[in-house]
Amino acid sequence: MEKYMFLFLGGDTSHLSPEKQQAHMEKWFEWVEKLKNEQRYVAGEALMPGGKTVAGAKKVVTDGPYAESKELVGGFFVILAKDIDEATMIAKDCPDYVLDGIVEVREVIKFD
């Protein structure tokens, strides 16, 4: 099994009612539960919106990584999968696609 990282972009729920927001979140709980039951789940973190960007030789500091919430990375998972195809299949279970969410699937490089 190899490690893969899922980067979650977008998936904005701000237009939903509290009831719908909760319902959407519960779909995530089911997904995480499934990943844990299959012993694929390794780690996950949620990221605050906003932040700072440092760039260039002059180390220019700007506010926020991106302006568009569509492109904002909201968090990530590290999961186990046989290969990139299997990891991609698993990523298709992410509940955020209905909210125009995007999942980037990246293999974690093994250092040996």
Partner 1 sequence: MHDSQVNQLIDHLFRHEAGKMAAVLTRLLGFHSLELAEDIVQDTLLKAVSTWKIKGVPENPPAWLYTVAKRKAIDAIRKHQLQAQHNQQIHQGLRSEWTLSSTVDDFFTKEEIEDSQLRMIFACCHPAIPYESQIALTLKTLCGLSIAEIASSFLTSQEVINKRLYRAREKIREARIVLEAPALAALPGRLEAVLHVLYLLFNEGYNSSHPDQLIRHDLCEEAIRLCVLLTRNPTTDTPDARALLALLCFQASREDARTRPDGSIVLLKDQDRSQWNTALIERGKYYLETSTSDGAPSTYHIEAAIAGSHSRARTFEETDWKSIAMLYNLLYQMKPGPIVALNRAIAFGYSESPTAGLNALRKITGLNDHYLYHAAMGDFHALNGNESEAFHCYQSAEQRAVSPVQKKLLAMKQFELSSRVRG
For binding to partner 1 (CB under 8 A), which residues are involved?
8, 13-14, 17-22, 24-26, 28-30, 32-33, 36, 44-46, 49, 74-75, 77
Burial of 68 from C-beta contacts in 10 A (0-12 / 13-18 / 19+): exposed
Q: Which residue's CB is nearer to partner 1, number 45 or number 112? A: 45
Provide the minimum distance between the beta carbon of 6 and partner 1 in the complex, in angstroms, as a whole number.
10
Q: Which residue's CB is nearer to partner 1, number 51 or number 85? A: 51
Token readout for 97 is 């696609």
Q: Please, are residues 54 and 83 in contact by the beta-carbon 8 Å criterion? A: no
Report d(CA 56, CA 82) in Å as an integer.
Answer: 38
Q: Which residue's CB is nearer to partner 1, number 73 or number 86? A: 73
Provide the minimum distance between the beta carbon of 70 and partner 1 in the complex, in angstroms, as a whole number.
14
Token readout for 33 is 């539960």
